[in-house]
Amino acid sequence: MDRDDGDTFEPDLAAARTIPARWYFDPAVLDREERRVFARTWQLVGAVTQVRAAGDYFTCRVGREPLVVARDEAGTLRALSNVCRHRAGPVARGAGRARSLQCGYHGWTYALDGRLLASPEFEGVRGFDRSTIHLPEARLAEWGGFLFVNLDRDAPALGEFLGAIPHETRGLAMDHLTLRRRVDYEVECNWKVYVDNYLEGYHIPRVHPALFRELDYGAYRVETARLHSRQRAPLRREGAVFGGGAGDGEEALYYWVFPNLMLNVYPGSLQTNLVVPLGPERTLTRFEWYVAEPLDPAAAEKFEQAFAFSDQVQREDMDICRAVQQGLRSATYHRGRYSVLRENGVHHFHGLLSRFLAD
């Protein structure tokens, strides 16, 4: 039995071993990931449609950091800390429209650009200059109607994470897609188990028999780039869900952006999947499905069919991810090997993860 528990990453896929099993359940590893991975990468937080008008805002979290995304009176969009500078109360809850942000604890009030406007009953406090107090601001970027936040001022730009994705998806007109459905799933596994599973088609024949019939598995390939990867899955013309009526050369494209964002592109629709750790062995996966509007009755029926199919695939993934998480706890398992043909995407992810954790 191989007891190699070292953290060293082997860049040669044919010689490499997977990351140590303990990385999937050790709370200290998740703490490092929160600080060195999630706080230094671009995280999807919402859509431009949520903050179209002056005063619109919504709250979110990036890693452990509470944020409020708001559009001020001048039309500028900002991602501000949702932590009052007084005693750490929330300056906003949920979503809505307001002229200012007011802490629900003691009433400190901030402008939508983060300036402190009022601090009730603070007379007599020495060395207190209200004009110097602002809510900290994080980097905010937009692509395809989606909003991303990065807490690291020195991280590469969003475009470097996305690489060729904007060019390759230009035909989908993403700015004009409409959210059709949102579903949250909680999975009893580490977030990396779920990402590992997403990044390879190796499991499809056994875990997803219905999906296997939709895709040309023999032609399924994973192509890696600097900070993302792409899985190309040609659709079978005789497929019942995605392939039915598909033209020659049509395919499903499964993009992954380090560390936790998936973009599943099907003919005429986009599915986003955000993977958020809730604990060392519990994960939230948020699915959002975007389509071109309006949907005629036939297209609406087709969407419902595709949604039901996607839900079935997701539940199959949840079942296998739970089982894998239990297996990682076994005293007999420590590290595995990669299939050179099918698991280069997983190896690529583990390499990026090891690099960020070591930096």
For 270, the enclosing helix (H) or strand (E) is strand 269-279
- Give helix 344-358 / helix 191-198 axis angle, nearest 10°: 140
Query: How many Å apart are CA 172 and CA 144, to the nearest integer?
Result: 10
Residues 6+ apart with CB under 8 A from 77: 51, 69, 70, 71, 140, 142, 147
pLDDT of residue 286: 97
pTM score > 0.75 for this model?
A: yes
Cα angle 203, 163, 225; round to 5 = 45
Query: How many Å apart are CA 205 and CA 316, to the nearest integer?
Result: 12
Query: How many Å apart are CA 71 and CA 77, to the nearest integer?
Result: 4
pLDDT of residue 135: 98
Query: How many Å apart are CA 299 and CA 294, to the nearest integer?
Result: 9
Estimate to the nearest angstrom the gap between the alpha carbon of 142 and the chain centroid: 15
pLDDT of residue 3: 46
3-state secondary structure of 231: strand
- Give helix 344-358 / helix 27-36 axis angle, nearest 10°: 80
Over its length of 359 residues, how does the chain's per-residue pLDDT go in tens digits?
344 556 789 999 999 999 999 999 999 999 999 999 999 999 999 999 999 999 999 999 999 999 999 999 999 999 999 999 999 999 999 999 999 999 999 999 999 999 999 999 999 999 999 999 999 999 999 999 999 999 999 999 999 999 999 999 988 888 888 999 999 999 999 999 999 999 999 999 999 999 999 999 999 999 999 999 999 989 987 766 765 545 556 888 999 999 999 999 987 889 999 999 999 999 999 999 999 877 788 888 989 998 999 999 999 999 999 999 999 999 999 999 999 999 999 999 999 999 999 97
pLDDT of residue 2: 45
Compute and round to an integer the Cα radius of gyration of the chain.
22
- Report the length, in residues, of the chain: 359
